[in-house]
Amino acid sequence: MAKRALITGITGQDGAYLTEFLLGKGYEVHGMLRRASLFNTDRIDHIYHDPHVSGSNLTLHYGDLSDGTALRRVIETVDPDEVYNLGAQSHVKVSFDVPEYTADVVALGTLRLLEALRDHVAHGGGAVRYYQASSSEMFGAAPPPQSERTPFHPRSPYAVSKVAAHWYAVNYREAYGLFICNGILFNHESPRRGETFVTRKVTRAVGRIKEGLQDKLFLGNLDAKRDWGFAGDYVEAMWAMLQQEKPDDYVIATGEAHSVREMVEMSFAEAGLDWTKHVQLDPRYLRPTEVDFLQGDPTKARERLGWSPRMSFAELISTMVAHDLDLAQQERTLKQAGFKTSARGAAASDKS
Ligand code: NAP
Ligand code: G4F
């Protein structure tokens, strides 16, 4: 019998990589999809098969982390072996604009899902294993290197909500004996990264500048340091946690940090561009409270899970820039042929 996995946030960056990974392992994958006025399944369209046409191992269910009834219904319908809670309003800067919504989805959404799971298991639902997407943002102002033993000092409504979700998960493990793991993941990126996160905002702009579609890139704090890895590597750690004998919490990181300035310089250089000619500060992108320095210590994950990142920082930047150069070339070709392009790069740089 194939194992059944349920993923919230399946349409996001990590959801797409995790789905590919689990399908490759022979899982039957179920994902929770939010209703949107435009299609929001771009990242998983290539692995979705119309169930009317062929036997598919990927099924989508409408639901939302703000809707406890829907969460219960999806859990009862799917009867999963593993649940991956990846759904979130995941943008730190945006969380200062919509703090209440962020808390509702990230903190209370997790509580709703855990409550549904608790009842499902209590009523004979079997030994479900649950993964919670915790974040290095929870460390906030705590000095690096950060490990599983580092106390949290969150610096945004998003991070505060993730801390609450993290502790709900720990509490449900201790109180009800549920198999629950928190993956404390440091920043991970890819060509599928949302265009308002800094790496993708930069690589999209590099492509568009190279193709003459844009000239300036407006950014905020260039001094912040992050421990950036590749999302495709990180989803394997999520799965590995749920295959252990006992549930536990793990830091997932590369152990290496770079400043935003360094990342910008490398991305522009990859396309033969001088960043100082194009990048300007826009104070709108500064945060009321910043997280200055994140650098993880992934020793526990390496020793217990046998997990190590495969893609280096230089390879990650190079892959993302190559992808976004292609995208910009397509955009320019369409423009030259007289088609209206959406100028998403420009819109993204205005919003984040
Ligand atoms: P992402 O690309 O922003 O994806 C977020 C997913 O959550 C999307 O599928 C989104 O749906 C869904 N979602 C948003 N609001 C929802 C709601 N109210 N109900 C149900 N689903 C909702 O994020 P990601 O980078 O894949 O990250 C996955 C998870 O890991 C998130 O919880 C994030 O906070 C956490 N995390 C990420 C990183 C990182 O560096 N990427 C690091 C640590 C932790 P739509 O597609 O419809 O918007
Ligand atoms: O790419 P970012 O928006 O990622 P941030 O805030 O670190 O959060 C991401 O990683 C977390 C894990 O640590 C996740 F939990 C979270 O869901 C998300 O995936 O910003 C990175 C750094 C920040 O210091 C920010 O101030 O880049 C700086 N930055 C400078 N200019 C900018 C910009 N960030 C964005 N988004 N846009 C800018 O124009």
Tens of pLDDT, residues 221-250: 999 999 999 999 999 999 999 999 999 999
pLDDT at 55: 72
Q: Residues lining ligand 2, judged by CB closer than 6 Å?
A: 90, 92-93, 135-137, 186-187, 196-198, 201, 219-221, 224, 226, 260, 285, 287, 290, 294, 352
Residues contacting 91, CB < 8 A, separation 6+? 158, 194, 196, 197, 352
Q: Which CATH number fits domain 198-223+257-293+311-339: 3.30.43.10, 3.10.450.40, 3.90.25.10, 3.40.190.10?
A: 3.90.25.10
Confidence check: pLDDT of 352 > 80 = no
**Contact between residue 19 and residue 87 where contact means Cβ atoms under 8 Å apart:** no
Distance CA 212, CA 189 (A): 25
How many Cα atoms sit within 13 Å of 240 on the Cβ side? 19
Label residue 343 by pLDDT band (50, 70, 90). Answer: low
Label residue 253 by pLDDT band (50, 70, 90). Answer: very high
Selected catalytic residue, list 17, 84, 158, 172: 158
Confidence check: pLDDT of 347 > 60 = no
Looking at residues 80-105, what average pLDDT do you find? Answer: 98
Q: Decide: pTM greater than 0.95.
A: yes
Looking at residues 206-214, what average pLDDT do you find? Answer: 98
**In angstroms, what CA-CA distances link 167 with 172, 189, 280, 329?**
8, 26, 40, 46
| Average pLDDT score over the chain | 96
**Contact between residue 216 and residue 206 where contact means Cβ atoms under 8 Å apart:** no
What atom of ligand 1 comes closest to residue 91's alpha carbon?
3
Confidence check: pLDDT of 299 > 90 = yes
Looking at residues 200-211, what average pLDDT do you find? Answer: 98
Catalytic (active site) residue 290: no
**In angstroms, what CA-CA distances link 343 with 42, 199, 328, 352?**
17, 18, 10, 15
pLDDT at 1: 87
**Contact between residue 305 and residue 187 where contact means Cβ atoms under 8 Å apart:** no
pLDDT at 242: 98
The 3 state secondary structure assigned to the chain is: CCCEEEEECCCCHHHHHHHHHHHHCCCEEEEEECCCCCCCCCCCHHHCCCCCCCCCCEEEEECCCCCHHHHHHHHHHHCCCEEEECCCCCCHHHHHHCHHHHHHHHHHHHHHHHHHHHHHHHCCCCCCEEEEEEEHHHCCCCCCCECCCCCCCCCCHHHHHHHHHHHHHHHHHHHHCCEEEEEEECCEECCCCCCCCHHHHHHHHHHHHHCCCCCCEEECCCCCEECCEEHHHHHHHHHHHHCCCCCCEEEECCCCCEEHHHHHHHHHHHCCCCHHHCEEECHHHCCCCCCCECCECCHHHHHHHCCCCCCCHHHHHHHHHHHHHHHHHHHHHHHHCCCCCCCHHHHHHHHC
pLDDT at 53: 72
Confidence check: pLDDT of 351 > 60 = no
What atom of ligand 2 comes closest to residue 135's alpha carbon?
15
Ligand 2 centroid–CA 200 distance in Å is: 10
**Contact between residue 110 and residue 168 where contact means Cβ atoms under 8 Å apart:** yes
**CA-proximal residue: ligand 2, atom 24 (nearest):** 224
pLDDT at 340: 79
Confidence check: pLDDT of 344 > 80 = no
Catalytic (active site) residue 250: no
Longest CA span, the chain: 63
Cis upstream peptide for 157 (omega within 30°)? no
Looking at residues 108-114, what average pLDDT do you find? Answer: 98
What atom of ligand 2 comes closest to residue 199's alpha carbon?
1
pLDDT at 174: 98
pLDDT digits (tens, 9 = 90+) for 36-63: 999 999 999 999 988 777 678 999 999 9
pLDDT at 342: 62
**In angstroms, what CA-CA distances link 341 with 7, 274, 324, 330, 338?**
33, 26, 15, 10, 9
**CA-proximal residue: ligand 2, atom 28 (nearest):** 221
**CA-proximal residue: ligand 1, atom 3 (nearest):** 90
Whose tokens are 């190559």? That residue is 322
pLDDT at 78: 97
Selected catalytic residue, list 90, 134, 135, 352: 135
pLDDT digits (tens, 9 = 90+) for 140-190: 999 999 999 999 999 999 999 999 999 999 999 999 999 999 999 999 999
Residues contacting 174, CB < 8 A, separation 6+? none
Residues contacting 188, CB < 8 A, separation 6+? 14, 228, 229, 230, 231, 233, 234
| Percent of the chain residues topping a pLDDT of 70 | 97
CA angle (211, 216, 219) in 5-degree steps: 125
pLDDT digits (tens, 9 = 90+) for 318-330: 999 999 999 999 9
Angle between helices 313-336 and 198-210 (to 10 degrees): 50
4-193+228-252 — its CATH code?
Answer: 3.40.50.720
Domain edges within the chain: 4-193+228-252, 198-223+257-293+311-339
Confidence check: pLDDT of 313 > 60 = yes
pLDDT at 234: 99
**CA-proximal residue: ligand 2, atom 34 (nearest):** 198
